[in-house]
Amino acid sequence: MKRISLILILLIAVSSVSFAKKKKDKENKQVILFGVTVSLTDSSAFITEIITVDSLLTNKDGFIDKEEEYSAQLKSFLEKNYNVANHACAIFYDTDMKDINKKYKKINNRLVNKEKRNLKTLPKTEFNFTLYKEESEEE
């Protein structure tokens, strides 16, 4: 009987440590990001300015939660304000400004010089990413 209760206590201790670790694996960080959209059917492309968003939930590998929600924000904005449909949207992000600037310049140069796209930059005053919160978090 003592052996069973000892095993049970150890199982509870191990499971509580693993649940605590899973919760700790995610943290809020300041993330710097920008978005890009391109169309396969025409030569237009859009790129946002580099935007800093505070308190994005990231996991231990540095990926942001609900990444698809941020590309959906950009896609929705373009459909509503520019009548643009069928554009593929992607976001690029990092916690280091130097690294995100490198990515930004590389993608910008590729779109303009190599792919010869008509690139429109969306300024922060026109488009800005907003922090995504699940409905249960808003209550």
> pLDDT (tens digit, 9 = 90+) per residue, 50-72?
999 887 777 777 788 888 899 99
pLDDT of 20 > 50? The answer is no
Write down the H helix ranges in the chain: 2-24, 67-82, 97-109, 135-138
- Phi, psi (degrees; rounded to nearest 5) at 126: -95, -40
Q: Which of 33-42, 60-69, 104-113 has the highest mean pLDDT?
A: 104-113
Residue with tokens 């010869």: 116
Closest-CA residue to 39 (of 120, 106, 128): 120
**How much is the pLDDT for 23?**
47
In angstroms, the CA 133 to CA 55 distance is 11
**How much is the pLDDT for 19?**
44
| Average of per-residue pLDDT values in the chain | 82
**How much is the pLDDT for 25?**
60
pTM of the model: 0.75
